[in-house]
Structure 1
Amino acid sequence: MPMSVAIDDYLKTIYHHTEWQSDPITPSQLAAELSLAPSSVTEMVQKLAAQGLVTHRPYGPIRLSTAGEVRAAAIIRRHRLVETWLVREFGYSWDEVHDEAEVLEHVLSDRLLARIDERLGHPRFDPHGDAIPDADGHVHREAFVLLRTAPTGHTGRVLRVSDRDPQLLRAVEAAGVSVGAVVTAVDAATLRLGGADVSLPGDAADAVWLSA
């Protein structure tokens, strides 16, 4: 893997970790997310710190620096615009786009990316509800609550469904739940949608976010 791609993957993973919760990522969590040996992660984190992309002390959490945040937001913007493009223009389903975007995000020119953004009407969110950073790296997010922690009877819009598990995405879609749908939390595995209760897989409790 080219070093620049490896660096982008590290920065993306660190960025993702604090998008929907506030605790910074630890080296062991980063190694697990990337399916790499802890020793390999330690070595790369030291390189990232030397380049001014992260801040880190031995055995402590890892945080993006300002420069790291800018670079991470840029690659995430590419990834999420590509996902949106594939769904809207080519008929991909939301469980199919992640792997394609992982490849295309590294090869599209800035000019083509700008044309894609213009063609799509400058979308603010990708098909899973994740915010698309603008060209300056800024994002807009509203207050949210994870389904697992939503109180019984809480009503809100589905803001995001994690794209980590394609099978879960297919199950959520089969239940009729989509980003933007107004639902009421019955319990951690049940939503009321359009007057009917729909059951979701148990792991959806940690993969569905609602507006607060």
Structure 2
Amino acid sequence: MGSPVIDDYLKRIYHHTEWQDSRITPSQLATELGLAPSSVTEMVRKLAAQGLVTHRPYGPVSLTPEGEKRAAAIIRRHRLIETWLVNEFGYAWDEVHDEAEILEHAISDRLLEGIDERLGRPRFDPHGDAIPDESGAVDRAPFVLLSEATAGHTGHVLRVSDRDPQLLRVVEAAGVSVGAEVVVHDPGALVVDGARVDLPPEAAAAVWLTA
């Protein structure tokens, strides 16, 4: 098992480019982690020295193939645990993130394999995020962020960000669940089962649809 601190850095870098293309900067990474920029800069240097990231002074940070493999492995653990907690223990999808953050560093590879097998080797977690396979590969359909979808766009909900549990609850209460077929009315509203559903403004940057 790797260092939880290093794993957290690698996860944040991986997450940043998972659903969009721009790479993360050290200042963005500091904001994401809630740390001083100087601390993040020093850790990025250490990660680069270990061959886990590439970084130029004042430039963005990218994972190396080795860094991406390690990040995918810890994200696989996290998302399998989230799926396990929802399916086996009745957790709501807005409750699992913090629990999985603890458990991902505690369970053995043997138990993780057992969880994966019991769940039927799922490809996605409850929020719609792809679960990397053992090689780190993911299977994800082409997607569009709700804020960028045009009026009249029809698709299925691929993902709802788990960053804000309160927003998750509001979105779920509105009937917008992963897998639901929707029609975009505008970035703040969807049509679900023929009925218009108004969403809070922040949902436009937290809901992804099939392209």
TM-score scaled by length of structure 2: 0.99
Whole-angstrom CA distance in 2 between matches of 1:3 and 1:68: 12
Alpha-carbon separation, structure 1, partners of 2:13 and 2:118:
30
Alignment of 1:113-152 (within 5 A): 113-152=112-151
CA distance, structure 2, for counterparts of residue 56 and residue 66 of structure 1: 14
> Could you tell me which residue of structure 1 aligns to residue 163 of structure 2?
164
Q: Deviations over 1:11-67 (max 9, x none)?
A: 000000000000000000000000000000000000000000000011000000010
Q: CA deviation at 1:91?
A: 0.2
Q: Secondary structure at 2:47's aligned position in 1?
A: helix
- How far apart in 2 are the matches of 1:57 and 1:154? 40
Separation in 1 of the partners of 2:161 and 2:188? Answer: 15
Summarize the alignment of residues 21-170 of structure 1 with structure 2, pairs less than 5 Å apart: 21-170=20-169
Equivalent residue number for residue 173 of structure 1:
172
Q: Percent identity?
A: 74
Stretches of structure 2 lacking an aligned partner (at least 5 in a row): none
Amino acid across the alignment from 1:4: S
The alpha carbon displacement at 1:115 in A equals: 0.2
Q: Following superposition of structure 1 onto structure 2, how do residues 6-17 of structure 1 map, counting pairs within 5 Å?
A: 6-17=5-16
Aligned length: 211
Give the aligned residue type for 1:50. Answer: A
Shift of 1:107: 0.6
Alignment partners' CA distance in 2, 1:61 and 1:19:
15
Letter of the 1:8 counterpart: D
Q: How far apart in 1 are the matches of 2:129 and 2:122?
A: 11
Secondary structure at the residue paired with 2:72? helix
**1-structure distance, mates of 2:5, 2:108:** 19
Letter in structure 2 aligned against 1:136: S
TM-score relative to the length of structure 1? 0.98
Cα distance, 1:3 vs structure 2: 7.9
- Structure 1 gaps of 5+ residues are none
- For 2:90 and 2:188, the matched residues in 1 are separated by 29
CA distance in 1, matches of 2:111, 2:210: 33
2:184 alignment partner in structure 1: 185
Q: Aligned partners of 2:82 and 2:66: how far apart in 1?
A: 25
Deviation (angstroms), 1:169 = 0.1
For 1:179 and 1:90, locate their aligned partners in 2 and report how far apart those are by CA, in whole Å. 19
Per-residue deviation, 1:111: 0.2
